[in-house]
Chains A and B, each alone.
Chain A
Amino acid sequence: MKEEAFTRLQPVREEAHDRMQQMGLTFSRDNRWFVLAAQAYLMLAGLGLVLNGSFLSDNAARPAFLHLFTLGFMLFMIYGLACHMLPRFTGNPIREGAWPWLQMGLAHCGVIGYAVGYLAGQHTLIVVGAVLAWLSLAVFAFRIWPVLWPAEP
């Protein structure tokens, strides 16, 4: 009797599941890429443990691996999760279109430029990488601000 009831309800449950996905419970493409990239940077940062024995080694590579973890992993996770969750928590839309991809491009170029700059001893590359990473944070703030504080109608 119980099993029959469950069998009859199955199509309704599947429909409810599909509707939840259509409502946007799952990651959008840009946020999916933010979270995936974060895992790649985590694995790259982890190489610091293998090569130097610590994230906070005493050699010149210290800022490179440290920032692969903080900028690469932590910041990208925040980007992906915050851009996914905050619009749902507040009910306000986030700036989409080219903005997330600009934010992502700046962040990738920034992290890679910064890390490679330290590993190669190129000060200019370090500064350019840092500026690009900062600009990605500025784009993120620009996208998130109206989600938190929408304009009064």
Chain B
Amino acid sequence: MHKRNRLFVSIALVYGLLGGLIAIIRLIDPSLIGGNVPRAHGHIMLLGFILMMIYGIALHVLPRFGGFPLYSEQMANWQLYCANAGLPLMIAGWLGWRDMLVMAGGVLTYGAIVLFGLNMILTVRTKGRTLPVQ
């Protein structure tokens, strides 16, 4: 498994634990963490935990299931950078009531989504490769 894909899964685990932790802290005492905690929690779990897990596993299996190598390793690397630059900015924006940070983070996160989507479309393709008959 490529190191980048293992990083995606590892980071997903960290986000999952972080997202759960801030929700628990808010449940115990809402005054302990300021900002829009429910929104931050929802996005940490969905974009951080679920989506990063899907990124890591899909980048590994879809080229194999599709029968073609990954279209661009560089796109996948930039997807990792954008996703992990975007989400912390969004979290900081919600917890600190800074809309500009949320917007900047959202753009970067969307960039990662587009990079992943295009890379997968160009990797899986509509027809599998036909193997020669032995």
Which residues from chain A sit less than 8 Å from chain B, CB to CB?
70, 74, 78, 82, 85-86, 89-90, 123, 126-127, 130-131, 133-134, 137-138, 140-141, 144-145, 148-149
Contact = CB atoms under 8 A, between A and B. Distances in A.
Given A134-B17, A134-B24, 15 more contacts: A82-B9, A89-B60, A89-B61, A90-B1, A90-B6, A127-B24, A130-B24, A130-B27, A134-B20, A137-B13, A138-B17, A145-B10, A145-B13, A148-B1, A149-B10
A149 B13 CA distance: 13
5 contacts: A78-B50, A89-B61, A134-B17, A141-B17, A144-B9
A85 B62 CA distance: 13
A78 to B, nearest CB: 6
Interface of B: 1, 6, 9-10, 13, 16-17, 20-21, 23-24, 27-28, 45, 50, 53, 57, 60-61
A148 B14 CA distance: 13
A70 B13 CA distance: 15
B28 A85 contact: no
- Determine chain B's interface SS by DSSP, over half rule: helix
A85 B56 CA distance: 12
A153 B125 CA distance: 40
Given A78-B53, A89-B1, A134-B21, A141 B16 contact: yes
A126 B27 CA distance: 8
Contacts of B16: 137, 141
B6 A149 contact: yes
Contacts of B61: 85, 89
Nearest to A140: B13
Contact of B27 (A89, A127, A137, A145): A127
Nearest to A130: B24
Nearest to A70: B45
B9 A74 contact: no
A148 B57 contact: no
A126 B24 CA distance: 9
Contacts of B27: 123, 126-127, 130
A137 B53 CA distance: 13
B53 A82 contact: yes
Contacts of B24: 127, 130-131, 134
Contacts of B6: 90, 148-149
A78 B13 CA distance: 11
Contacts of B20: 130, 133-134, 137
A34 to B, nearest CB: 15
A90 B60 CA distance: 10
